[in-house]
Structure 1
Amino acid sequence: MSDSKPLNTPISSRSSLSLHDGDTLPKPFLYRNIIGAHQYLVLTRLELAFGFNRVCKFMQSPTTTHWSTIKRILHYLRHISHHGLLIRPTYSLDISAFSNSDWDGCPDDHRSTTDYCIFLGDNLISWTSKKQQVITRTEFEYRALAHATPELI
Protein backbone atom coordinates (compact mmCIF):
# COMPACT_ATOMS: atom_id res chain seq x y z
CA MET A 1 0.00 0.00 0.00
CA SER A 2 3.01 2.32 0.27
CA ASP A 3 2.85 3.22 -3.44
CA SER A 4 -0.92 3.54 -3.60
CA LYS A 5 -2.56 6.45 -5.34
CA PRO A 6 -4.27 9.10 -3.17
CA LEU A 7 -8.04 9.00 -2.70
CA ASN A 8 -10.27 11.87 -1.55
CA THR A 9 -12.79 9.74 0.35
CA PRO A 10 -12.53 6.47 2.29
CA ILE A 11 -15.77 5.06 0.86
CA SER A 12 -18.54 6.22 -1.41
CA SER A 13 -21.67 7.31 0.45
CA ARG A 14 -23.68 5.50 -2.21
CA SER A 15 -21.94 2.18 -1.68
CA SER A 16 -24.44 -0.52 -0.90
CA LEU A 17 -22.51 -3.49 0.35
CA SER A 18 -24.46 -6.68 0.83
CA LEU A 19 -23.79 -10.09 2.35
CA HIS A 20 -23.89 -11.70 -1.08
CA ASP A 21 -21.55 -9.36 -3.01
CA GLY A 22 -18.45 -11.09 -4.41
CA ASP A 23 -16.83 -14.41 -3.57
CA THR A 24 -15.99 -15.60 -0.07
CA LEU A 25 -12.48 -14.68 1.10
CA PRO A 26 -10.15 -17.67 1.55
CA LYS A 27 -8.45 -16.04 4.59
CA PRO A 28 -11.10 -14.03 6.47
CA PHE A 29 -8.81 -13.57 9.49
CA LEU A 30 -6.80 -10.97 7.52
CA TYR A 31 -9.97 -8.96 6.99
CA ARG A 32 -10.78 -9.11 10.71
CA ASN A 33 -7.22 -8.22 11.74
CA ILE A 34 -7.11 -5.11 9.56
CA ILE A 35 -10.46 -3.88 10.87
CA GLY A 36 -9.45 -4.58 14.47
CA ALA A 37 -6.12 -2.81 14.08
CA HIS A 38 -7.78 0.36 12.80
CA GLN A 39 -10.87 0.56 15.04
CA TYR A 40 -9.30 3.18 17.30
CA LEU A 41 -9.23 5.63 14.39
CA VAL A 42 -13.02 5.84 14.35
CA LEU A 43 -12.94 7.68 17.69
CA THR A 44 -10.85 10.55 16.35
CA ARG A 45 -11.54 10.48 12.62
CA LEU A 46 -15.23 11.05 11.96
CA GLU A 47 -14.91 10.54 8.20
CA LEU A 48 -13.79 6.95 8.83
CA ALA A 49 -16.77 6.01 10.98
CA PHE A 50 -19.10 5.51 8.02
CA GLY A 51 -16.67 3.29 6.10
CA PHE A 52 -15.71 1.16 9.08
CA ASN A 53 -19.35 0.80 10.05
CA ARG A 54 -20.07 -0.57 6.58
CA VAL A 55 -17.26 -3.13 6.53
CA CYS A 56 -17.71 -4.27 10.15
CA LYS A 57 -21.11 -5.69 9.27
CA PHE A 58 -19.43 -8.48 7.32
CA MET A 59 -16.87 -9.75 9.83
CA GLN A 60 -18.36 -13.26 9.94
CA SER A 61 -18.27 -13.90 6.18
CA PRO A 62 -16.31 -11.25 4.25
CA THR A 63 -16.15 -11.39 0.47
CA THR A 64 -13.84 -10.04 -2.22
CA THR A 65 -16.06 -6.96 -2.61
CA HIS A 66 -15.77 -6.22 1.11
CA TRP A 67 -11.99 -6.70 0.85
CA SER A 68 -11.86 -4.14 -1.98
CA THR A 69 -13.68 -1.68 0.26
CA ILE A 70 -11.13 -2.25 3.04
CA LYS A 71 -8.31 -1.62 0.57
CA ARG A 72 -9.96 1.64 -0.50
CA ILE A 73 -10.07 2.78 3.13
CA LEU A 74 -6.38 1.88 3.50
CA HIS A 75 -5.53 3.87 0.35
CA TYR A 76 -7.30 6.85 1.88
CA LEU A 77 -5.51 6.42 5.23
CA ARG A 78 -2.12 6.22 3.56
CA HIS A 79 -2.48 9.73 2.18
CA ILE A 80 -4.13 11.59 5.06
CA SER A 81 -1.76 10.83 7.91
CA HIS A 82 -1.20 14.56 8.44
CA HIS A 83 -4.94 15.27 8.92
CA GLY A 84 -6.59 15.47 12.31
CA LEU A 85 -9.60 16.65 14.25
CA LEU A 86 -9.32 20.44 14.37
CA ILE A 87 -10.57 22.24 17.46
CA ARG A 88 -10.32 26.01 17.18
CA PRO A 89 -10.53 28.57 19.98
CA THR A 90 -14.01 30.05 19.99
CA TYR A 91 -15.81 32.66 22.00
CA SER A 92 -19.20 31.44 20.90
CA LEU A 93 -21.02 29.16 23.29
CA ASP A 94 -23.78 28.44 20.79
CA ILE A 95 -24.65 24.76 20.68
CA SER A 96 -26.10 23.41 17.46
CA ALA A 97 -27.13 19.92 16.50
CA PHE A 98 -27.79 18.23 13.18
CA SER A 99 -29.59 14.93 12.85
CA ASN A 100 -30.27 12.67 9.91
CA SER A 101 -31.75 9.29 9.18
CA ASP A 102 -31.44 6.81 6.38
CA TRP A 103 -34.66 4.87 5.89
CA ASP A 104 -34.13 1.36 4.50
CA GLY A 105 -30.40 2.01 4.12
CA CYS A 106 -29.21 -1.58 4.56
CA PRO A 107 -30.09 -3.91 1.66
CA ASP A 108 -29.81 -6.99 3.89
CA ASP A 109 -32.14 -6.19 6.79
CA HIS A 110 -33.88 -2.98 5.55
CA ARG A 111 -33.29 -1.13 8.81
CA SER A 112 -32.71 2.58 9.01
CA THR A 113 -29.71 4.33 10.50
CA THR A 114 -30.06 7.48 12.56
CA ASP A 115 -27.20 9.80 13.35
CA TYR A 116 -26.43 13.21 14.76
CA CYS A 117 -23.55 15.58 15.36
CA ILE A 118 -23.32 18.39 17.92
CA PHE A 119 -21.20 21.52 17.62
CA LEU A 120 -20.04 24.01 20.25
CA GLY A 121 -19.39 27.11 18.19
CA ASP A 122 -17.57 25.75 15.13
CA ASN A 123 -16.14 22.71 16.94
CA LEU A 124 -17.57 19.22 16.66
CA ILE A 125 -17.91 17.87 20.19
CA SER A 126 -20.17 14.81 19.91
CA TRP A 127 -21.49 12.48 17.24
CA THR A 128 -23.11 9.09 16.87
CA SER A 129 -24.63 6.77 14.32
CA LYS A 130 -26.99 3.94 15.23
CA LYS A 131 -28.84 1.28 13.30
CA GLN A 132 -32.45 1.02 14.45
CA GLN A 133 -33.79 -2.20 15.96
CA VAL A 134 -37.16 -2.01 14.23
CA ILE A 135 -38.16 -1.47 10.64
CA THR A 136 -40.31 1.64 10.40
CA ARG A 137 -40.97 4.28 7.81
CA THR A 138 -43.16 6.91 9.41
CA GLU A 139 -41.04 7.77 12.45
CA PHE A 140 -37.45 7.50 11.25
CA GLU A 141 -36.78 11.26 11.11
CA TYR A 142 -38.25 11.70 14.59
CA ARG A 143 -36.04 8.90 15.94
CA ALA A 144 -32.92 10.73 14.76
CA LEU A 145 -34.09 13.87 16.52
CA ALA A 146 -35.05 11.93 19.66
CA HIS A 147 -31.54 10.44 19.90
CA ALA A 148 -29.84 13.84 19.46
CA THR A 149 -31.95 15.74 22.02
CA PRO A 150 -30.69 14.09 25.26
CA GLU A 151 -27.07 14.50 24.14
CA LEU A 152 -27.74 18.12 23.31
CA ILE A 153 -29.30 18.77 26.73
Structure 2
Amino acid sequence: MEVIRTPNGLFLSQSKYILDLLDKVHLAGAKPLSTQAATTTPTRDDPFADVPLYRQIVGTLQYLSFTKLDISYSVNQVCQFMHSPIISDRTAVKRIVKYLKHNVDFGLAIVSSTSLSLHALSDATWAGCKSDRKSQTGYCIYLGGNLISWASKKQSTISRSSTKAEYCSVATTTSKVLWHKSLFLELGIPLTDVVL
Protein backbone atom coordinates (compact mmCIF):
# COMPACT_ATOMS: atom_id res chain seq x y z
CA MET A 1 0.00 0.00 0.00
CA GLU A 2 1.33 3.40 -0.94
CA VAL A 3 0.80 6.27 1.50
CA ILE A 4 1.40 9.67 -0.08
CA ARG A 5 1.50 12.87 1.95
CA THR A 6 -0.43 15.72 0.36
CA PRO A 7 -0.80 19.34 1.50
CA ASN A 8 -4.28 18.45 2.85
CA GLY A 9 -3.54 15.06 4.42
CA LEU A 10 -2.83 11.58 3.06
CA PHE A 11 -3.64 9.62 -0.08
CA LEU A 12 -3.79 5.82 0.15
CA SER A 13 -3.33 3.87 -3.05
CA GLN A 14 -2.48 0.36 -4.19
CA SER A 15 -1.27 1.09 -7.72
CA LYS A 16 1.71 -1.27 -7.58
CA TYR A 17 -0.46 -4.06 -6.16
CA ILE A 18 -2.92 -3.60 -9.04
CA LEU A 19 -0.13 -3.64 -11.63
CA ASP A 20 1.28 -6.82 -10.06
CA LEU A 21 -2.18 -8.41 -10.21
CA LEU A 22 -2.54 -7.45 -13.88
CA ASP A 23 0.80 -9.14 -14.63
CA LYS A 24 -0.06 -12.21 -12.57
CA VAL A 25 -3.34 -12.85 -14.40
CA HIS A 26 -1.86 -11.92 -17.80
CA LEU A 27 -4.12 -8.90 -18.29
CA ALA A 28 -1.45 -6.18 -18.36
CA GLY A 29 -2.00 -5.78 -22.10
CA ALA A 30 -5.79 -6.05 -21.92
CA LYS A 31 -8.09 -3.20 -22.78
CA PRO A 32 -9.22 -1.34 -19.62
CA LEU A 33 -12.95 -1.30 -18.88
CA SER A 34 -14.84 1.69 -17.50
CA THR A 35 -17.44 -0.49 -15.78
CA GLN A 36 -16.82 -3.43 -13.48
CA ALA A 37 -20.02 -5.43 -13.70
CA ALA A 38 -21.81 -7.01 -16.63
CA THR A 39 -25.49 -6.19 -17.06
CA THR A 40 -26.60 -9.79 -17.54
CA THR A 41 -26.14 -12.76 -15.24
CA PRO A 42 -25.91 -16.25 -16.76
CA THR A 43 -27.97 -18.89 -15.01
CA ARG A 44 -25.90 -21.95 -15.89
CA ASP A 45 -22.33 -22.52 -17.00
CA ASP A 46 -19.48 -25.02 -16.89
CA PRO A 47 -17.36 -25.26 -13.71
CA PHE A 48 -14.13 -23.30 -13.63
CA ALA A 49 -11.30 -25.82 -13.29
CA ASP A 50 -8.73 -23.79 -11.33
CA VAL A 51 -10.62 -23.08 -8.08
CA PRO A 52 -7.44 -22.19 -6.06
CA LEU A 53 -6.52 -19.53 -8.66
CA TYR A 54 -10.05 -18.10 -8.51
CA ARG A 55 -9.87 -17.90 -4.72
CA GLN A 56 -6.44 -16.29 -4.81
CA ILE A 57 -7.52 -13.59 -7.26
CA VAL A 58 -10.74 -12.88 -5.36
CA GLY A 59 -8.73 -12.63 -2.12
CA THR A 60 -6.48 -10.09 -3.83
CA LEU A 61 -9.56 -8.12 -4.90
CA GLN A 62 -10.83 -8.18 -1.31
CA TYR A 63 -7.53 -6.67 -0.14
CA LEU A 64 -7.76 -4.01 -2.85
CA SER A 65 -11.23 -3.05 -1.67
CA PHE A 66 -9.60 -1.63 1.50
CA THR A 67 -8.70 1.48 -0.51
CA LYS A 68 -11.03 1.09 -3.48
CA LEU A 69 -14.58 1.09 -2.20
CA ASP A 70 -15.91 1.31 -5.76
CA ILE A 71 -15.24 -2.42 -6.22
CA SER A 72 -16.85 -3.51 -2.92
CA TYR A 73 -20.17 -4.56 -4.45
CA SER A 74 -18.65 -6.48 -7.36
CA VAL A 75 -16.12 -8.21 -5.11
CA ASN A 76 -18.93 -9.18 -2.75
CA GLN A 77 -20.75 -10.75 -5.69
CA VAL A 78 -17.81 -12.88 -6.85
CA CYS A 79 -17.01 -13.91 -3.25
CA GLN A 80 -20.31 -15.76 -3.11
CA PHE A 81 -18.99 -18.39 -5.51
CA MET A 82 -15.64 -19.18 -3.88
CA HIS A 83 -16.65 -22.78 -3.14
CA SER A 84 -17.50 -23.74 -6.75
CA PRO A 85 -16.96 -21.02 -9.34
CA ILE A 86 -18.18 -21.38 -12.90
CA ILE A 87 -16.71 -19.93 -16.10
CA SER A 88 -18.95 -16.84 -15.92
CA ASP A 89 -17.67 -16.16 -12.38
CA ARG A 90 -14.12 -16.17 -13.74
CA THR A 91 -15.28 -13.78 -16.47
CA ALA A 92 -16.74 -11.46 -13.80
CA VAL A 93 -13.43 -11.51 -11.90
CA LYS A 94 -11.51 -10.68 -15.09
CA ARG A 95 -13.90 -7.80 -15.71
CA ILE A 96 -13.18 -6.36 -12.24
CA VAL A 97 -9.43 -6.65 -12.88
CA LYS A 98 -9.79 -4.88 -16.24
CA TYR A 99 -11.82 -2.17 -14.49
CA LEU A 100 -8.95 -1.72 -12.02
CA LYS A 101 -6.65 -1.16 -14.98
CA HIS A 102 -8.94 1.71 -15.99
CA ASN A 103 -8.36 3.52 -12.68
CA VAL A 104 -5.04 2.22 -11.33
CA ASP A 105 -4.18 5.51 -9.64
CA PHE A 106 -7.49 5.98 -7.82
CA GLY A 107 -7.35 5.61 -4.06
CA LEU A 108 -8.61 6.92 -0.77
CA ALA A 109 -7.97 10.51 0.31
CA ILE A 110 -7.81 11.33 4.01
CA VAL A 111 -7.90 15.07 4.54
CA SER A 112 -7.25 17.03 7.70
CA SER A 113 -10.51 18.16 9.23
CA THR A 114 -11.58 19.99 12.35
CA SER A 115 -15.02 18.39 12.26
CA LEU A 116 -15.53 15.40 14.53
CA SER A 117 -19.01 14.70 13.24
CA LEU A 118 -19.81 11.04 12.58
CA HIS A 119 -22.33 10.54 9.79
CA ALA A 120 -23.47 7.64 7.66
CA LEU A 121 -25.26 6.84 4.44
CA SER A 122 -26.98 3.57 3.63
CA ASP A 123 -28.84 2.01 0.74
CA ALA A 124 -30.31 -1.34 -0.21
CA THR A 125 -31.39 -3.32 -3.22
CA TRP A 126 -34.55 -5.35 -2.93
CA ALA A 127 -34.32 -9.04 -3.85
CA GLY A 128 -31.29 -8.33 -6.01
CA CYS A 129 -29.83 -11.83 -5.84
CA LYS A 130 -31.49 -13.97 -8.50
CA SER A 131 -30.70 -17.29 -6.81
CA ASP A 132 -32.07 -16.65 -3.30
CA ARG A 133 -33.91 -13.30 -3.66
CA LYS A 134 -31.96 -11.74 -0.80
CA SER A 135 -31.37 -8.01 -0.73
CA GLN A 136 -28.05 -6.19 -0.61
CA THR A 137 -26.99 -3.63 2.02
CA GLY A 138 -24.46 -0.91 1.38
CA TYR A 139 -23.23 1.76 3.76
CA CYS A 140 -20.56 4.44 4.13
CA ILE A 141 -19.52 5.98 7.45
CA TYR A 142 -17.66 9.31 7.58
CA LEU A 143 -15.74 11.08 10.31
CA GLY A 144 -15.81 14.70 9.25
CA GLY A 145 -15.17 14.56 5.53
CA ASN A 146 -13.24 11.28 5.64
CA LEU A 147 -14.65 7.91 4.74
CA ILE A 148 -13.66 5.55 7.56
CA SER A 149 -15.84 2.48 7.01
CA TRP A 150 -17.87 0.99 4.18
CA ALA A 151 -19.39 -2.30 3.14
CA SER A 152 -21.59 -3.95 0.58
CA LYS A 153 -23.02 -7.28 1.66
CA LYS A 154 -25.99 -9.55 1.24
CA GLN A 155 -28.67 -9.34 3.91
CA SER A 156 -29.18 -12.47 6.00
CA THR A 157 -32.97 -12.49 5.64
CA ILE A 158 -35.33 -12.33 2.68
CA SER A 159 -37.24 -9.04 2.64
CA ARG A 160 -40.84 -9.06 1.46
CA SER A 161 -40.72 -5.42 0.40
CA SER A 162 -38.25 -2.73 -0.55
CA THR A 163 -39.20 -0.93 2.66
CA LYS A 164 -38.07 -3.89 4.77
CA ALA A 165 -34.83 -4.16 2.76
CA GLU A 166 -34.13 -0.46 3.42
CA TYR A 167 -35.05 -0.89 7.10
CA CYS A 168 -32.60 -3.80 7.44
CA SER A 169 -29.93 -1.68 5.75
CA VAL A 170 -30.53 1.24 8.13
CA ALA A 171 -30.46 -1.15 11.12
CA THR A 172 -27.11 -2.59 10.01
CA THR A 173 -25.70 0.90 9.41
CA THR A 174 -26.96 2.11 12.79
CA SER A 175 -25.23 -0.75 14.59
CA LYS A 176 -21.97 0.06 12.80
CA VAL A 177 -22.29 3.77 13.64
CA LEU A 178 -22.93 2.96 17.30
CA TRP A 179 -19.86 0.71 17.34
CA HIS A 180 -17.72 3.51 15.87
CA LYS A 181 -19.19 6.02 18.34
CA SER A 182 -18.32 3.68 21.21
CA LEU A 183 -14.80 3.22 19.84
CA PHE A 184 -14.17 6.97 19.60
CA LEU A 185 -15.53 7.54 23.11
CA GLU A 186 -13.27 4.79 24.45
CA LEU A 187 -10.30 6.43 22.71
CA GLY A 188 -11.22 9.75 24.33
CA ILE A 189 -12.23 11.42 21.07
CA PRO A 190 -15.36 13.52 21.68
CA LEU A 191 -17.72 13.48 18.71
CA THR A 192 -19.57 16.72 17.98
CA ASP A 193 -22.49 15.07 16.20
CA VAL A 194 -23.76 11.69 15.05
CA VAL A 195 -26.02 11.72 11.97
CA LEU A 196 -27.68 8.86 10.11
What is the TM-score when the length of structure 2 is the normalising length? 0.67
C-alpha contact 2:33 2:101 (8 A) present in aligned 1: no
Q: Give the drift of 1:91.
A: 2.7
C-alpha contact 2:48 2:86 (8 A) present in aligned 1: yes
Provide the residue aligned with 1:3 in structure 2.
29
Q: Give the drift of 1:16.
A: 5.5
Compare 103-112 and 123-132 and name the one that shifted more. 123-132
Provide the residue aligned with 1:148 in structure 2.
173
1:57-136 residue pairs with structure 2 within 5 A?
57-136=80-159
Q: Give the drift of 1:78.
A: 2.7
Identical-pair percentage: 41
- Post-superposition Cα deviations, 1:66-102, rounded to whole Å, max 9, x if no partner, equal 1111111111223433221111222333332111111
Larger radius of gyration: 2
Instruction: Specify every segment of 5 or more residues in structure 1 that has no aligned partner in the other structure, as ranges.
Output: none
Q: Cα RMSD between the aligned structures?
A: 2.0
Higher-strand-fraction structure: 2
Instruction: Specify every segment of 5 or more residues in structure 2 that has no aligned partner in the other structure, as ranges.
Output: 1-26, 179-196
Q: Give the drift of 1:41.
A: 1.2
What is the TM-score when the length of structure 1 is the normalising length? 0.84
Q: Which amino acid aligns with 1:145?
A: V
